[in-house]
Amino acid sequence: QVQLVESGGGLVQAGGSLRLSCVASGRTLTMYVMGWFREAPGKEREFVATISRSDAVIDYADSVKGRFTVSRDNAKNMVYLQMNSLKPEDTAVYFCAAGIIIHARSPAQYGNWGQGTQVTVSS
């Protein structure tokens, strides 16, 4: 099992930026495909981005494409989500997740989750 801890969330005005980080422990991150998901109040957890073990495959939800960038530093066991041009509809708890399926967009395809970090975008 790999343990994941997210950080970097906060309150930001619309149009602003935040960088989320996810640190892994227990196992090397090179074993995993990593994903970012978000969950807004009253809504289901939704896919945001995924990155393969070697950065060769990266995929984004249409709602964040062109604004968010996912990256990873396997040497540091870290995954990042750079979020630019934030909108109020981006407000949610953001989770990082570890799995083994490339291009996975369903939460059910990830077996390890962090506790989440709150992102609030004010208008």
CA 22 to chain centroid, in Å, comes to 8
Query: Is the pLDDT reported for residue 56 higher than 90?
Result: no
Query: Is the pLDDT reported for residue 19 higher than 90?
Result: yes
Neighbours of 75 (CB within 10 A): 9
CA distances from 106 to 14, 44, 74, 99, 110 (A): 28, 11, 23, 11, 8
- Residue 103 has which token pair? 């291009």
pLDDT tens by residue, 27-54: 889 999 999 999 999 999 999 999 999 8
- In angstroms and rounded to an integer, the radius of gyration of the C-alpha atoms of the chain is 13
- Bridge partner list, 101: none
C-alpha triplet 81, 86, 88: angle, nearest 5°? 125
Across the chain, mean pLDDT equals: 96
Query: Is the pLDDT reported for residue 55 higher than 90?
Result: no
